[in-house]
């Protein structure tokens, strides 16, 4: 079963370091992993609409309406990382984000979003591997004292993210677009 500790240990092993048994074990590498892991996880989750970190909710409006321009405001969920969609498929609602609030003209907000999925056991293999590479990149200089290794791991992370996005994006059926005047004028 994958955990934050196994992800960090695999990253350390890739760099030639010793694995850790816990993020709280008191070693330098465990403390470093404990510091870097949460922000790295959030960055990686924000980088793509990962299917294993997607959630849908219906939000209720806050008591206070925006000062002007919109009728309602909604607080983004506490585990929100990135918005995927507001409204129904094919019929998005207009909105504006200010801080951690969504401003809208409708009384209910249907939101699809990437959430802070802290259950690594529910992640896809591509997301796990992306986190291992990202952690290796962030730990590289501390373990190897080499900017070359660090830069190489950063490049590897970018390349893997492209591949992981492509694979993850193929899990849903392709989007179909309605024929419009632009498409009709071509044929």
Angle subtended at Cα 56 by Cα 51 and Cα 59, rounded to the nearest 5 degrees: 155
**Helix or strand run (H / E) with residue 92:** strand 91-92
Tokens representing 97 are 């984000």
What is the pLDDT confidence band of residue 167, given thresholds at 50, 70 and 90?
confident
Span of 33-47, 75-89, 94-108, 171-185 with lowest mean pLDDT: 171-185
User: The tokens 């993210």 sit on which residue?
Assistant: 161
| pLDDT tens profile 87-112 | 988 789 999 999 999 999 999 999 99
Nearest-angstrom CA–CA distance, 42 and 4: 13
CA atoms within 13 A on the CB side of 83: 19
Kindly report the pTM of this predicted structure.
0.86
pLDDT surpasses 70 at 68: yes
């Amino acid at each position: 079963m994958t955990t934050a500790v196994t992800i960090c240990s695999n990253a350390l092993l890739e760099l030639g370091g010793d694995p850790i048994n816990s993020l709280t074990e008191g070693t330098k590498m465990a403390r470093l992993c404990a510091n870097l892991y949460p922000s790295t996880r959030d960055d990686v989750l924000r980088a793509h609409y990962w299917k294993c970190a997607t959630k849908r909710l219906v939000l209720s409006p806050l008591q206070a309406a925006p000062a002007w321009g919109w009728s309602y405001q909604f607080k983004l969920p506490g585990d929100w990382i990135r918005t995927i969609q507001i409204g129904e498929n094919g019929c998005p609602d207009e909105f504006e984000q200010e801080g951690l609030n969504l401003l809208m003209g409708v009384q209910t907000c249907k939101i699809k979003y990437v959430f802070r999925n802290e259950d690594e056991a529910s992640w896809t293999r591509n997301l796990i591997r992306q986190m291992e590479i990202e952690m290796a990149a962030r730990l590289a200089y501390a373990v190897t004292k080499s900017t070359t290794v660090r830069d190489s791991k950063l490049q590897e992370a970018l390349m893997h993210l492209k591949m992981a996005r492509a694979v993850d994006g193929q899990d849903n059926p392709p989007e179909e677009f309605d024929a419009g005047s632009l498409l009709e004028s071509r044929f």
